[in-house]
Amino acid sequence: MSARRQRVEPFHAVAINRLAHERTRRGLDVFHMEVGQPSAGAPRAALAAAARALQDSRLGYWESGALKERIARHYAETYGVAIAPEQVVLTPGASGALLLAFTVLLDAGDRVALGRPGYPAYRNVLRTLGMEPVELACGPESRYQPTPAMIDALDPAPAALIVASPANPTGTMLARGELAALAAACRRRGIALISDEIYHGISYGEPAISALEVDASSLVINSFSKYWCMTGWRLGWLVAPESLVDSMSTYSGNIFLTPSALSQHAALAAMDAHEELGGHLATYAANRLLVMSTLRQLGITELAPADGAFYVYANIGHLTDDSLGFCKRLLADTGVAFNTGLDFDPLEGHRWLRISFAVSSAETDEAMRRFAAWLADRPDGNGSRRTSP
Ligand SMILES: Cc1ncc(COP(=O)(O)O)c(C=O)c1O
If you measure from the C-alpha of residue 95 to the centroid of ligand 1, how many angstroms do you get, rounded to a whole number?
A: 6
Q: Which pLDDT belongs to residue 1? A: 65
Q: Which pLDDT belongs to residue 5? A: 65
With a 6 A CB cut-off, is 168 part of the ligand 1 pocket?
Answer: yes
| Mutate-to-test residue for ligand 1 from 34, 37, 102, 168, highest number of ligand atoms within 8 A of CB | 168
- What are the backbone dihedrals phi and psi of residue 57, each rounded to the nearest 5 degrees, phi first? -120, 155
Contacts of 285 (CB under 8 A, 6+ apart): 204
| Mutate-to-test residue for ligand 1 from 11, 119, 238, highest number of ligand atoms within 8 A of CB | 119
Give this prediction's pTM.
Answer: 0.95
Cα-based distances in Å from 30 to 23, 70, 194, 217, 240: 7, 38, 36, 45, 41
**What atom in ligand 1 is closest to the CA of residue 235?**
11
Provide the total of helices (H) and of strands (E) in the chain, helices listed first: 13, 12
Q: How many CB atoms lie within 10 A of CB 218?
A: 23
If you measure from the C-alpha of residue 198 to the centroid of ligand 1, how many angstroms do you get, rounded to a whole number?
A: 6
If you measure from the C-alpha of residue 13 to the centroid of ligand 1, how many angstroms do you get, rounded to a whole number?
A: 13
- What is the per-residue burial (b if ≥16 Cβ within 10 Å, else e) of 178-194? bbbbbbebbeeeebbbb
Name the residue at shortest CA distance from atom 4 of ligand 1. 94
Rounded to whole angstroms, the Cα distance separating 302 from 282 reads 25
Q: Which pLDDT belongs to residue 6? A: 65
Q: Give strand ranges (E) for the chain.
A: 31-32, 88-91, 111-116, 132-137, 160-164, 192-196, 219-223, 236-239, 311-315, 336-337, 339-340, 352-356
Q: Which pLDDT belongs to residue 7? A: 66
With a 6 A CB cut-off, is 225 part of the ligand 1 pocket?
Answer: yes
Which 8-state DSSP code applies to residue 191?
P
Q: Which pLDDT belongs to residue 303? A: 98
Rounded to whole angstroms, the Cα distance separating 167 from 306 reads 9
Is residue 214 packed enough to be buried (19+ CB in 10 Å), middle (13-18) or exposed (0-12)?
buried
Q: Which pLDDT belongs to residue 205? A: 95
If you measure from the C-alpha of residue 221 to the centroid of ligand 1, how many angstroms do you get, rounded to a whole number?
A: 10
Q: 369 by DSSP, 3-state: which?
A: helix
Rounded to whole angstroms, the Cα distance separating 317 from 16 reads 20
Mean pLDDT for each consecutive 10-residue tract of the chain (389 residues)?
70 91 94 94 98 96 97 98 97 98 96 98 94 97 97 97 98 98 97 98 97 97 98 98 94 96 98 95 97 97 97 97 96 97 96 97 98 84 42
Cα-only R_g, the chain: 21
- What is the per-residue burial (b if ≥16 Cβ within 10 Å, else e) of 80-90? ebebeeebbbb
- DSSP run (H or E) holding 47: helix 44-56
The residues pairing with 355 across neighbouring beta strands, listed in sequence order, are 312
Rounded to whole angstroms, the Cα distance separating 126 from 132 reads 6
